[in-house]
């Protein structure tokens, strides 16, 4: 059974549209990653207060990267069986996911990577349908 997957992704969520002979399935995977660390307390920063409330940049970056790796692993699990993978989205997550797919020996399944802005679920599904319909049309 052939499975084509279109995937809209950013650091906050991924929308996976899987197309099979049985039809179309849409799944949303939420990362839980927060880009900006919130400072605690309600008074202006004074003296060593900031050091206590905000972790060092390298620790914050390590935590961010760790959470992203967990998120990308969940996305890869959802698309692992795909024969063809179309990846699109607004930011860096596309390229980061591509690297993760290559590490998992799935890079050869990527058919295209496109930069697009935010989209609704119906717009994402329509884009995926149109892409794979064009890809499998008799003129190609």
Q: Name 13's Cβ contacts closer than 8 Å, sequence gap at least 6.
A: 28, 29, 30, 31
Q: For 88-100, what is each residue's pLDDT tens digit?
A: 999 999 999 999 9
Strand 23-30 to 84-89 pairing: unpaired
| Confidence class for position 59, pLDDT limits 50, 70, 90 | confident
Phi, psi angles (nearest 5°) of residue 80: -55, -35
Cα–Cα distance measured from residue 57 to residue 63, given in angstroms and rounded to the nearest whole number: 10
Its pTM stands at: 0.79
Q: What is the pLDDT of residue 32?
A: 86
| Confidence class for position 134, pLDDT limits 50, 70, 90 | confident
């Amino acid at each position: 059974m052939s499975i084509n997957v279109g995937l809209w992704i950013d650091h906050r969520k991924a929308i996976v549209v899987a197309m099979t002979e049985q039809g179309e399935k849409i799944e949303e995977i939420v990362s839980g990653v927060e880009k900006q660390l919130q400072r605690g307390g309600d008074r202006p920063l004074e003296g060593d207060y900031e050091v206590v409330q905000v972790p060092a940049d390298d620790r914050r970056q390590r935590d961010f990267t760790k959470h992203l790796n967990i998120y990308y692993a969940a996305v890869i699990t959802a698309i692992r069986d795909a024969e063809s993978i179309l990846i699109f989205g607004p930011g860096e997550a596309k390229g980061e996911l591509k690297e993760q797919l290559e590490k998992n020996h799935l890079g050869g399944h990527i058919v295209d990577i496109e930069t697009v802005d935010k989209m609704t679920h119906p717009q994402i599904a329509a884009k995926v349908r149109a892409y794979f319909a064009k890809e499998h049309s008799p003129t190609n």
